[in-house]
Structure 1
Amino acid sequence: MAVGLTEALEGWDSVRSSELYGVDAWGNNFFHITTDGCAAVRLKNPSGPVSVKFSDIVQGLYQRGLSLPILLRFGDLLAARLAAIHQAFGKAIEESGYTGVYRGVYPIKVNQQQQAVADVVKFGRPFHHGLEAGSKAELIAALAYLHDPEA
């Protein structure tokens, strides 16, 4: 006998949803499932981290006259990932006794959009994060954004 939807969902909760989809494994504490079962992102706020449901983001977009599909970028996530990369390399350099320095670079060919490149430069500035250019056009773009002689 087939199990009905009501029976299948009995006892189901947001914790089980998170486990089923492995959100904790890939979300790296940036993404999570709320207690009411919605996918959400954790963002920085001056008063502390705040959880924002994707459904609320979409509703706000509709209220502004925008429609889906849409690309969302979260500067908090980019800043945190750049910091984590640099911390990991710093730790490895220290543990191995390497005497050189690490300078991360972002290959512009990954995403040439102005806002993406500007954000990488902005959030990578404390680490002297650079840009990698593989063509003349990419070099021109990189030169327009980078003003750090150590990058």
Structure 2
Amino acid sequence: MAWTVNDSRNLYGIRHWGGHFFDAGDNGNVVVRPKGRHGSEIDLYALTRKLAASGLELPLLVRFPDILQQRARRIIEGFDAAREAWEYPQGYTLLYPVKVNQQEAV
């Protein structure tokens, strides 16, 4: 029996953590779509190979600010909907802990 994309999805457990941003590509490699489900995809294995071939040493830290922005927007929209549904008159400021590299600003 031949290996399938769904076999890769199950192996990596993508349905548990991938959201609309990560999936298994047609070749079985993990891909990321920083703009979401309908955005262009980046094959993470191919990216790693290309960066290593350019002389960079592994492991590498690759950031996807589009994902962070979309996740923050989703949280804000959820709070806005709850405020409206419960007629909560006060404002709020979203403060949410994000696990980041402490050497860089997010």
Q: With the length of structure 2 as denominator, give the TM-score of the two structures.
A: 0.81
Distance between the aligned counterparts of 1:104 and 1:22, measured in 2? 30
Pairing 1:1-150 to 2, within 5 Å after superposition:
10-44=1-35, 49-106=39-96, 111-114=101-104, 117=105, 119=106
Q: Is the 8 A contact 1:90 1:102 kept in 2?
A: no
What per-residue deviation string (whole Å, max 9, x for no partner) do you get for residues 74-114 of structure 1? 11111111111111111111112111112112558965323
CA 1:95–1:111 in structure 2 vs 1: closer, same or farther (change >3 Å)? farther
**Alpha-carbon distance, 1:41 to partner:** 0.4
Match of 1:137 in 2: none
Cα contact 1:34–1:40 (8 A) shared by 2: yes
Structure 1 residues 41 and 108, CA gap change in structure 2 (3 angstroms): closer
* Structure 1 unaligned blocks of 5 or more: 1-9, 120-151
Larger Rg: 1
Q: Which whole-Å CA distance do the structure 1 matches of 2:54 and 2:46 have between them?
A: 12
Greater strand percent: which structure? 1
Contact 1:33/1:40 (8 A) holds in 2 = yes
Query: What value does the CA root-mean-square deviation take over the aligned residues?
Result: 2.3
Aligned residues with identical type, % of pairs:
36
TM-score using structure 1 length = 0.60
In the alignment, residue 12 of structure 2 is paired with which amino acid?
Y
Q: Number of aligned pairs?
A: 104
Say if 1:112 and 1:49 are closer, same or farther in 2 by CA, change over 3 A: same
The answer to whether the Cα contact below 8 Å between 2:8 and 2:29 also exists between their aligned partners in 1 is no
Deviation at 1:16, TM superposition (A): 2.8
